[in-house]
Amino acid sequence: MWLELQVFGFRALWSPYYLLFVLALAVSYYLLTGPLRHKFGNNDKPTMAQQIMFYVGLALLYIIKGSPLDLLGHIMFTAHMGQMALYYLVFPILIIKGMPTWVWEKVLYTPILRPVLKVLLKPLVALLLFNGLFSLYHIPTIFDFTKTSPLAHAIITTVILFTAFCVWLPVFAPLEELDGLSPLLKIGYIFANGVLITPACGLIIFAGEPLYSTYSDPGAWTAALSLCVPNGVLSNLSLGGPQLFSPITTMHDQQLGGIVMKITQEIVYGAILAVIFFSWFRQENTSIDPLPSES
């Protein structure tokens, strides 16, 4: 498959402009949290762990949106769902954990944003909003329109990413006022997330026919490719459809995509549950009163 993808060219495979964007984010983080941080107050540098989290998050962002995975996500539905799982379930956590507290204070306490975020960061609102938008996005008519419109694709995926941050902020609260969920409630919150995302995955896995024309109809598929392949390259290619690049049928690709999303979600949520549980366990152990000494 790798050799076949070479026909799309270097720019489509490696997105050099997106790489420059990610590098600009990395430099901005270094400057704002390092040499320039005192311009925003007497702020501490991020810890080494925070820096690693943030830079790993940026590397993951490039893999998702700038590497050959992005092109493959327009060819195979399985790759697309892998992208979505990493983009919405893993990337926000790395960025949240990578930003120092004072940056979150600057962002979340902005007068314009604060009243809006006060509502959106309520756990129940964030839970329903993210999972609702994610499910609506995968309705065939909405999905196909989004995949063939650069503007709609940029807006819709960015809005869903924003709601993904809203989902994870109550769990990995960077500020004390956001940390309103007890460990037990956080565990229930993660379970609820897993339940709410299941119907969308189930409908994709058990559908009796291909749902998305952007992965089954050659014309719609070619239009969707224009989101990541330069028009000059695309117009010079004679492409019959995604089947030329996929080792499996369209139907099997769709089913596998739903399975990949569900399994990745289970792994990520399982890891988060383990972190919450063991942190809670350690906290309970350290808070146990010592036995009184014999006089």
- Give the CB-side neighbour count of residue 262, counting CA atoms within 13 A: 17
46-to-35, 61, 170, 206, 240 alpha-carbon distances in Å: 12, 20, 21, 46, 51
Closest to 274 (Cα-Cα) out of 186, 181, 166: 186
Task: Return the ∠ at Cα 286 (arms to 283 and 291), rounded to 5°.
Answer: 145
286-to-121, 228, 276, 281, 290 alpha-carbon distances in Å: 30, 52, 16, 9, 10
- Give the CB-side neighbour count of residue 208, counting CA atoms within 13 A: 0
CA dist., res. 33 & res. 12, Å (int): 33
- The mean pLDDT values, 10 residues at a time, for the chain of 295 residues are 80 95 98 92 92 98 97 95 97 97 91 92 97 96 96 97 97 92 95 95 95 93 89 75 83 97 96 93 72 54
pLDDT at 43: 87
CA dist., res. 15 & res. 229, Å (int): 9
pLDDT at 282: 86
pLDDT at 295: 47
Supply 290's token pair: 């010592």
CA dist., res. 255 & res. 240, Å (int): 22
pLDDT at 76: 94
Supply 279's token pair: 């942190």
CA dist., res. 32 & res. 54, Å (int): 13
Q: Where are the alpha helices (DSSP H) in the chain?
A: 2-5, 9-14, 16-33, 48-65, 68-75, 77-85, 91-98, 101-108, 114-120, 123-137, 140-148, 150-168, 183-206, 218-225, 231-234, 250-286
Give residues with Cβ within 8 angstroms of 212, minimum separation 6.
Answer: 77, 140, 143, 144, 147, 254
The pairs formed by 43-48 with CB atoms below 8 angstroms and a separation of 24 or more are 43/100, 43/102, 44/100, 44/102, 45/100, 46/98, 46/99, 46/100, 47/100
